[in-house]
Structure 1
Amino acid sequence: MRSFLLAPLFISLALPAMAADNTSEDGPVYGPRLEGFDYPWELHRFELNSQQQSLEMMYMDVAPQGDPNGETVVLMHGKNFCAATWESTIRALTQQGYRVIAPDQIGFCKSSKPQHYQYSFQQLANNTHALLDHLEIDNATIMGHSMGGMLATRYALMYPEATHQLVLVDPIGLEDWKAKGVPWQSVDDWYESGKQASAEKMREYQQETYYAGEWEPEYDRWVEMQAGMYRGEGRDINAWSQALTYDMVLTQPVVYEFEDLEVPTLLVVGDQDNTAVGKGLASEEVQKTLGHYDELGPEIAERIPEATYVHFEDLGHSPQVQAPERFHDALLEWLGQNR
């Protein structure tokens, strides 16, 4: 391990930009599939049949700027994020010649949100692999943030021959919360709590966890991206999708399989990250044991056969948003060394 401390059917379809459905006193109101929130690049639609239903997986396919280097990076968003949240990373990668594919997973953001779907990381990985297959991309760097880190890990375990290398950015799932004492909660209970989502609650949580207590005005865009879907007719279906995927995250750990990774892996961690799904359901004593990324990061990196570990002492759960220049310098340096 190297460790560093740094201070189906394929349709290519451009979607027209849409204004927000309306604006409430609390902020913008977006549609159930984030209609009204503009993505920074053209959106495409991938239609697939999955679990006896026709679904749409929306994604950005961003060409390299200048001379292409022939490599593709696939970006997997987190649970409270969307493909658009990768904006600065897409820009940094394409400027260095990479092609970037950034999908919204089924159940999230601009993609289909089926009422009935057996969510698993294997299923989401399979969906993504189908997308790449139809794009005729047989090998790519797979990069995941937060929940996307769990998905990227599962993808690399399922499709090692299609994974050139793996990048994990503050991935959740570095510990098994249920085994550590977080009690199981029913999907119905997750759904009821999810319907209470608000921009105020999201902002408070993100400040504490994503940005290590700091706040900048540009972070509000990502708060409103999520909160806007809960202000209108999309509240219930989004709360339901989130509930189903909370159950997936809690009951399908990847922490026991990091030793099985067969590809070069970069693990990036903000030491101030304290993410632990379901922490609020646990006793105070259990809560004290959860979400210590400054300890979890090096422990997991030691278990990954071919790992490079980079951590930022002062950053939280979203280093690519909080300190994009520092994050991208580290990312691009590692990618350049592993071409």
Structure 2
Amino acid sequence: MNRIFSAALAAALFSIPLASRATDTAPREPYGIALEGFAYPYAVHLLPLVNDSEQLSMAYMDVSPARPNGRTVMLLHGRNFPSSYWGPVVKMLSEAGYRVVVPDQIGFGKSSKPVGELHFDTLARNTIALLDHLKIDKTDIVAHSLGGMLGVRIARAYPDRIAHLVLTAPIGLEDYRLYVPPTPTEKMIETEDKLTADGYRKQLQTNYAIKLPPEAITPFIDARFNIKGSPDYPRWLRAFVSSGQMIYREPVAHEIPLITPPTLFVMGADDHNAPGRPNAPEALRAKMGQNAELAKALAAKMPNARAEVIPDTGHLVFLEAPEKYRELVLGFLGQ
């Protein structure tokens, strides 16, 4: 992907001129805890929910195609990204005739940040509640990163609601508890709070092997660090750390071979993302994050799955290799 195309992608992705982006060191205009002030590419709706006796709202985009093919795709986002980053994929699917539903899970993006802990089972129930609200009996799921873990849990708990499952650079292909000792929540909060925008940019470029120019990464920096100016930032931070604990405490790797809906793994060859690696003993760190190989091994154990590995791409494979991603995903969903 050349730099001109990547810059255009970043602008289209977030519908905000690149020239208006704050630099990592410039003063930031605060966003609200629900990303008030941060633009999404399509209209955002809210679904009232109750989780653990707490009144919450789940944000989602619902995009209708010009020429419907009668099918729906739900997109499940990752931990470090607002669902707006799916913009190019929404366009791709919509042009192919799919209705596209794009939720922000509770605890993320424009959805409520709960006081209680996050759990994959709760997020799965919320996602099914959204399908019920929209009167969608069956959907394809395209998931990325942490969304892949959620997609696994949904496919296991509600297999009759899923037609196809696409796991795009998912995390959770290994049980991180085998490598990383438990980390207290307060220590995680302290670590995340000390992270700077520049440090986060380096973390994204290193941990995610992102082969995109800086301007394409800047929206992710903004989405996270402009929230620091919100008076509700401590609640956002605790919800964000809760999602990290959820990844660690609620592994799905052992469930993946049991998935019955047709499944496609789309992996970046250079994606070695492994949550918690810095906290693992040094001797074990190199063994973590062999994600492409893990996906191929898991697919071989599943009744109806395959893994495709795209060379020279990292964790954001659908932004780094959009044409190949389009070919693989549309071909799979069309089977």
**Given the two structures, how large is their TM-score scaled by the length of structure 1?**
0.89
**Structure with the higher fraction of residues in helix conformation:** 2
Task: Summarize deviations over 1:12-37 as a string: whole Å, max 9, x none.
Answer: xxxxx99x9x9983444211111100
Structure 2 CA distance for partners of 1:201 and 1:231, relative to 1, 3 Å? farther
Matched with 1:37 is 38
**Matched AA of 2:160:** E
Task: Summarize deviations over 1:65-106 as a string: whole Å, max 9, x none.
Answer: 3x1000000111011011101010001000110000000000
2:191 counterpart of 1:190: no
Contact 1:46 1:56 in 2 (8 A): yes
Contact 2:124 2:150 in 1 (8 A): yes
Contact 2:33 2:232 in 1 (8 A): yes
Query: 1:297 aligns to what SS in structure 2?
Result: helix
Query: 2:219 aligns to what SS in structure 1?
Result: helix
50-59 or 212-221: bigger deviation: 212-221
Shift in Å at residue 189 of structure 1? Answer: 1.3
Counterpart mapping for 1:254-269 below 5 A: 254-269=252-267
Matched with 1:173 is 172
User: Unaligned regions of 5+ residues in structure 1, if any?
Assistant: 1-16
2:79 counterpart of 1:79: yes
Shift in Å at residue 226 of structure 1? Answer: 2.0
2:272 counterpart of 1:281: no
2:53 counterpart of 1:52: yes
Contact 2:77 2:144 in 1 (8 A): yes
Distance 2:184 2:151 in 1: 26
2:62 counterpart of 1:64: no
2:136 counterpart of 1:137: yes
Query: 2:47 aligns to what SS in structure 1?
Result: strand
Distance 1:145 1:313 in 2: 18
Distance 2:165 2:202 in 1: 31
Distance 2:292 2:79 in 1: 21
Distance 2:271 2:213 in 1: 15
Structure 2 CA distance for partners of 1:99 and 1:52, relative to 1, 3 Å? same
Contact 2:268 2:310 in 1 (8 A): yes
Shift in Å at residue 213 of structure 1? Answer: 5.2
Contact 1:212 1:314 in 2 (8 A): no
**Matched AA of 1:304:** M
Contact 2:177 2:249 in 1 (8 A): yes
Query: 2:272 aligns to what SS in structure 1?
Result: coil
Counterpart mapping for 1:84-163 below 5 A: 84-115=84-115, 117-163=116-162
Task: Summarize deviations over 1:293-318 as a string: whole Å, max 9, x none.
Answer: 23212112112220121111210011
Matched with 1:297 is 295
Task: Summarize deviations over 1:255-303 as a string: whole Å, max 9, x none.
Answer: 0111211100011100101111111111211111111123212112112
Sequence identity, in percent?
36
Counting matched residue pairs gives: 316
76-85 or 229-238: bigger deviation: 229-238
Distance 1:51 1:266 in 2: 33
Distance 1:304 1:226 in 2: 37
**Given the two structures, how large is their TM-score scaled by the length of structure 2?**
0.90
Matched with 2:221 is 223
185-194 or 149-158: bigger deviation: 185-194
Contact 2:265 2:306 in 1 (8 A): yes
Contact 1:170 1:270 in 2 (8 A): yes
